[in-house]
Structure 1
Amino acid sequence: MTSCSMVSLCSLRVASCGIASPAAQKLNTGISRLSFPKDFIFGTSSAAAQYEGAAAEGGRKPSIWDHWCTLPDKIDDGSNPSITMDQYHRYKEDVRLLSDLGVNAYRFSISWTRLFPDGRVNPEGLAYYNSLINSLLEHGIKPFITIYHWDLPQALQESMGGWTNKEIVDKYVEFADICFAAFGDRVKHWITFNEPCHSLKYCYAEGIWPPGVKSDTEVYIAGHNTLLAHAAAVKRYREKYQAKQGGKIGISLDGFWYEPVYQIPQDVAASYRALDFNLGWFLSPVVYGYYPETMRANVGGRLPHFTEEEARNLMGSIDFLGLNYYTSMYVKDSPSDIWQPAGYNTDMRAKTLFDVDGIPIGPKAYETSWLSIVPWGFYKLLNYIKKEYNNPTIFVTENGFNQVHAPYKDSMDDNERIQYLTGHYTNMAQAIRDGADVQGHFIWSFLDCWEWKSGYTNHFGLFYVDRNTQDRLPKKSAYWVKNFLKPDRGLILPSATPPLVQPLGKNVALAPAQAVQAF
């Protein structure tokens, strides 16, 4: 390891790298660890395909992403997940870093093709996850496990068509059962699926993720089977394991806040349709047992129907909601006409925008990034869920800021990420004070990692990873998080004051119902 390599934030010799420790620059902003309940969960998130590497080691078999990366022009930088962050070999070092960072939870996923390839338990995969879980617990870090984070075995895609075949439900439940039986004595938080809306839209509506299907019907069929698999896995866990193991189970859904461009009935209605087609597509069934009315009306016969038994199994099938929030968008009404082809994006009949008349919804991560810093949208979304979905227990399972790929020296001064986190912590704390049952927050992500179609072109990590040496190098945000998580104070850099009040724009009705102020 180089002189800048890191096993402990405390032991890092920052002077040798020409880096002044950000921990020495202090400014109390009023938001701190003490702004949250004593038992609040603070963690970081990851996913097997993005972190583990060792794609051809330890009995692991190919996933749909391994296959997809062999096809030309599918990944922006031509990379693949064969090595990624090499956590398969470096998990003990990573657990020590997490411990030193001060988090009390770590969210990761189980690779279906590592643990249960070919319908049989792989002893090497089982040993790896047991060792990772035990190492986390030894350091006082709670494991949060995502059972499925987009890496379907390629064999199941080829043999049965993946998520468009209803038989996938039984295959998934068999895999989930193996996870519950093997790890449930120590794992107390289970997540059945990560962001099914996000992945299925790209996989089956736009065709830019594997298996590369572009269909106006298969996206809804795949979503329907995903929901049935979720309900069946939850039923299995509750009937067979939950009483003995004492854990909880939920699902992680991606949520954007959609702000109407104009405060007129058409745009306001469009904002609710956008919420239904994004968040409500999966949240309404697992809370109420049925799809949102807007989806049933707009999609019509292309949207599958739940039987009475399926609806009963779905209704109330979460002990908690995992919410992934990154940013917000403007939305305006976009009526369909006979010339528009049917499909997910047109069914919504709403146009989403990141700016209106040149006025952005928030400061952008970088010029071409989809991510703007919109902490007030986070506040609004939490309150919307509280009101519309019976105030479920929420763990914010992903929330983070991206940078364009650059050398470490250009990446470590990530004041914008600190600004982003401060704004979102502040708005989350206010939402909790207003009654939202938020019990935890996970930063995406612990390390700069492989980001699916984007490859290594943008980075979300608190730690930069040198891909030549696999050294984990702390960014300024890592120091900030470490200081924030100290029980007696919260620290921030002077240059990272967060925008907590929604900006006003020309001809755009943006004033929030309840502007969030710093405490």
Structure 2
Amino acid sequence: MVGMYVVPRGMEEIIDYVKKRYQNKPIFVLENVKDLLHDVKRIEFHKAYLASLATAISFNEEEQDDIKRSQFPENFFFGTATSSYQIEGAFLEDGKSLSNWDVFTHRHGAINNGENGDVAEDHYHRYLVEDIELVHSLGVNAYRFSISWSRVLPRGRFGEVNPNGVMFYNNIIDNLLVKGIQPFVTIAHHDFPQELEDRYGSWLSPFMQEEFVHYAETCFKSFGDRVKNWLTINEPNLFADMAYIKGKYPPAHCSEPFGNCSVGNSDIEPLTVMHNMLLAHAKAVKIYREHFQKKHGGMIGIVGDALMYRPLTDDVKDREAASRVLAFNVAWVFDPLVYGDYPPEMRQYLGNKLPIFSAEETEYIKDSIDFIGINHYSTLYVKDCIYSSCIDGGDRPIRGYAFITRERNGVPIGEPTGMEIFFIVPEGMEEIVDYIKKRYPNMPIFVFENGYAPPHEEDVQVQDLLHDVKRIEFHKAYLSSLARAIRDGGDVRGYFIWTLMDDFEWIHGYNPGFGLHYVDRQTLERIPKLSAKWYKNFLTNYTPNNDNEVAGKSSFENKNVITAGLRTEQAEI
């Protein structure tokens, strides 16, 4: 038909338009035709449009409007999260050294718009008067932040501890506790002193393990009497991928077909880097458990990047490929730390490229986490590359012989966001928790990051950014999915929104806008978005409930009891 084209995405868009203009009136799609008699094309047409319609319906279920705090366990942790390089600024003040990101962001073309974190949100100067109060104003009982390695140990284990850095984090911790907020502290969140890159090649060297252990022990001594929740390394799997497969994070190592870097081997280096990070984690945990855990009564774990993966088709090969990709990404982090070795799926396809844990290493890496920490943002499709031809590196062992894609039959897996590979697929939260629950039975789970960035628009008005209804819908949908996962037996202990305020989002610069608070780039004024007000209302309009509304009972009372308390003795350094 002249003037009619196959645009499945339009189905979701027109439903969204009608819903908003007529305030959720019931909708019927009474005609949807394809002016061809060839049934194959008609089938493809209706499959695509039905998929788009399903996306529109699933993201706006009535259940999301009804999500309540009382659907989660009484002692559940609700928080928000940040990281040091992304908000602190003050990149060379008070004894801090240059970090790997300080150097990388000043390379031409490395970051969107040539931006960097030199000033960032100036959290270093504004934390006491403004930012801790922002956290408190949300009504949360937890706050996740990271410590800058370069600020506390500017030269690593061969240099002195920086007292100004220790004082800065002591002040944050103490002021959070005064307000009844539990600190969840990440020891390393993608950043470390540039000197360690220059000296060893950072995580490519086993010497980096000893550097990390010394740094972690310094943190335990300085802050452990008040910090009861430690996260050793943030997203080691994502860091290995972005820094050593794609070459988009420092030190920008990669090889064809994944990228065009001056140095690197994308098939080997990420495996070496991950091996060193996991062993560094395990050694730090060993120190913590032997010298600090009993005295301080805390918990320690790691945080993995945990996208969910679905088969592109119902074919058994694609289903196997989706399972394989989960192993190559999520289980790559957690299998060694729970079971003492890499996933069997990786051993099968990587062979002798995958490092071996010695008997001694296996002994201390096994059972080296008290909980599973994940960051979950989205879900993607997977196509098998063992029995089908693939492009873009999917046909290589390092990718598990699988191709990851965002759409099926031209239809995106969910509503797009401001991040290229992130789509709104709320059910993925329930699916990833179910995967972890089954692969690692009886392990507590924390969702340490889940957030939304709106699609980028030119010349958007600040008032529109503040009226972030879509972010509220996003979190309602994902929280509903998480509540279902808990009702189904997932021992989930906490949920943290990424992020407290708009920040420096690595290679994307300041564009994404994940924050619950808008930050004016000229004045650095923090302004609460509508989502911040919604989150506070969600958390504070709460009456403990013992009936069936509660998603699940937590075992906090009997296992890993977490208590808050101010410093009772001088921190040992």
Q: TM-score range by the shorter chain?
A: 0.7 to 0.9
Q: Deviations over 1:166-190 (max 9, x none)?
A: 0111110000000000000000000
Partner deviation per Cα, 1:311-333 (whole Å, 9 max, x = no partner) = 12111111011110000001110
1:191 aligns to what SS in structure 2?
strand
1:414 equivalent in structure 2: 468
Any conservation in 2 of the 1:75–1:455 contact (CA below 8 Å)?
yes
Q: 1:385-417: CA deviations, max 9, x gaps?
A: 101111411111000001237542231121111
Q: CA deviation at 1:49?
A: 0.3
State the one-letter code of the partner of 1:272: S
Whether 1:179 and 2:231 are equivalent positions in the alignment is no
Match of 1:303 among 354, 362, 377: 354
Give a deviation string over 1:2-60, Cα, whole Å, max 9, x none: xxxxxxxxxxxxxxxxxxxxxxxxx9932111111111100001000001111011111
Task: Give the equivalent residue in structure 1 for 2:531.
Answer: 477
**C-alpha displacement at 1:98, in angstroms?**
1.1
| 1:358 pairs with 2:410 | yes
- 1:364 counterpart letter in structure 2: P
The Cα of 1:347 is off from its aligned counterpart by 3.6
1:338–1:443: structure 2 CA closer, same or farther, 3 Å change rule? Answer: closer
SS in 2 for 1:212: coil
* 1:444 and 2:498 matched: yes
Is 1:235 matched up with 2:271?
no
Over 3 Å counting, the alpha-carbon distance change for 1:338 and 1:409 in structure 2 is: closer
The answer for the alignment partner of 1:249 in structure 2 is 300
Matched letter for residue 488 of structure 1: Y
Distance in 1, Cα, partners of 2:242 & 2:146: 20
Return the offset for 1:482.
Answer: 0.8
Aligned to 2:117, what secondary structure does the other structure show? coil
Contact residue 59 and residue 122 of structure 1 kept, 8 A: yes
Counterpart in the other structure of 1:98: 135
1:285 counterpart residue number: 336
- Number of the residue aligned with 2:431: 380
Aligned partner letter, 2:196: L
Q: Is the 8 A contact 1:53 1:88 kept in 2?
A: yes
The match for 1:423 is: 477
Q: Would the aligned equivalents of 1:393 and 1:438 in 2 still touch at CA under 8 Å?
A: yes
Determine the C-alpha separation between the residues in 2 that align with 1:271 and 1:148.
30
**Partner residue, 2:40:** none
Give the CA deviation at 1:434: 0.9
- The secondary structure found in structure 2 opposite 1:59 is coil
Shift of 1:308: 1.3
Structure number with greater Rg is 2
Aligned residue for 2:148? 111
For structure 2, list consecutive stretches of 5 or more residues without a partner in the other structure.
1-62, 255-264, 545-573
Question: Where does the alignment leave 5 or more consecutive residues of structure 1 unmatched?
Answer: 1-26, 491-519
Q: Matches of 2:424 and 2:390 in 1, distance apart?
A: 37
Residue 466 (str. 1) matches residue 525 (str. 2) = no
Instruction: Classify 1:143/1:344 alpha carbon distance in 2 versus 1 (closer, same or farther; 3 Å).
Output: farther
Say whether the 8 Å CA contact 1:76–1:454 is kept in structure 2: yes
Q: How does 1:62-81 map to 2 (within 5 A)?
A: 62-81=98-117
Task: Describe the shift of the 1:288–1:195 C-alpha distance in structure 2 as closer, same or farther (beyond 3 A).
Answer: same
How many Å apart are 1:338 and its aligned residue? 12
Q: Kindly indicate whether the alpha-carbon contact (under 8 Å) linking 1:32 and 1:489 is maintained by their aligned counterparts in 2.
A: no
**1:351-406: CA deviation from partner (whole Å, max 9, x where unpaired):** 1111111222111125x732111110110110111011114111110000012375
CA distance in 2, matches of 1:305, 1:345: 17
RMSD: 1.9
Residues 219-234 of structure 1 correspond to what in structure 2 (within 5 A)? Answer: 219-234=270-285
Residues 1:338 and 1:417: Cα distance change in structure 2 (over 3 Å): closer
Work out the CA distance in 2 between the residues paired with 1:425 and 1:208. Answer: 31
Aligned to 2:86: 50
Q: For 1:229-270, what per-residue CA distance to the aligned partner results, in whole angstroms no more than 9, with x for missing partners? A: 000000000001000000000000011111111122100100
Q: How many residues align?
A: 463
Corresponding residue of 1:41: 77
Deviations 1:112-162 (CA, angstroms, capped at 9, x unpaired): 000111232101101100001111111111100000001021000001110
Distance of 1:314 and 1:250 partners within structure 2: 12
**Contact 2:520–2:526, Cα closer than 8 Å, also in 1:** yes
Query: 2:32: which partner in 1?
Result: none
Query: Quick check: 2:87–2:504 contact (8 Å CA) kept in 1?
Result: yes
Distance 1:48 1:146, change over 3 A: same
CA contact (8 A) 1:107 1:144 kept: yes
C-alpha displacement at 1:345, in angstroms? 7.2
Structure 2 CA distance for aligned equivalents of residues 148 and 333 of structure 1: 34
Where do 1:327-366 residues align within 5 Å?
A: 327-335=378-386, 347-366=399-418
Q: Say if 2:168 is the partner of 1:128.
A: yes
Deviations 1:263-292 (A, max 9, x none): 221001000111011101111111111111
Label 1:129 to 1:343 Cα distance change in 2 as closer, same or farther (>3 A): farther
Partner Cα distance (1:296, 1:176) in 2:
30
Write the letter of the residue equivalent to 1:116.
L
Q: Is the Cα contact below 8 Å between 1:201 and 1:344 reproduced in 2? A: no
Q: Structure 1 CA distance, aligned partners of 2:327 and 2:390?
A: 23
Alignment-derived partner of residue 18 in structure 2: none
Instruction: Give the letter aligned to residue 143 of structure 1.
Output: P
Tell which deviates more after alignment, 412-421 or 442-451: 412-421
2-structure distance, mates of 1:113, 1:237: 21
CA distance in 2, matches of 1:170, 1:262: 46
Instruction: Answer yes or no: is the 8 Å Cα contact 1:365–1:416 preserved in 2.
Output: no
Give TM-score scaled by structure 1 length.
0.86
Cα contact 1:385–1:391 (8 A) shared by 2 = no
Give the structure 1 partner of residue 450 of structure 2: 399
**Residues in 2 aligned to 1:397 and 1:144: alpha-carbon distance in whole angstroms:** 9
Given that residues 205 and 344 in structure 1 are in contact (C-alpha distance below 8 angstroms), is that contact kept between their aligned partners in structure 2? no
TM superposition shift of 1:105? 0.7
Looking at structure 2, the residues matched to 97 and 46 of structure 1 have their Cα atoms a distance apart, in angstroms, of 12
1:340 to partner: Cα distance:
8.8
Question: How far 1:346 moved relative to its partner?
Answer: 5.1
Mapped partners of 1:134, 1:360: distance in 2: 46
Identity %: 43
TM-score (norm 2): 0.78
Compared CA separation, residues 43 and 175, structure 1 to 2 (3 A): same
The equivalent of 2:29 in structure 1 is none
* Alpha-carbon distance in structure 2 between the residues aligned to 1:114 and 1:28: 42
Q: CA deviation at 1:207?
A: 1.1
What is the match of residue 262 of structure 2? none
1:318 aligned residue: 369
1:325–1:398 contact (8 Å) kept in structure 2: yes
> Aligned to 2:326, which of 252, 270, 275?
275
Which of 181, 186, 209 is the aligned partner of 2:249?
Answer: 209
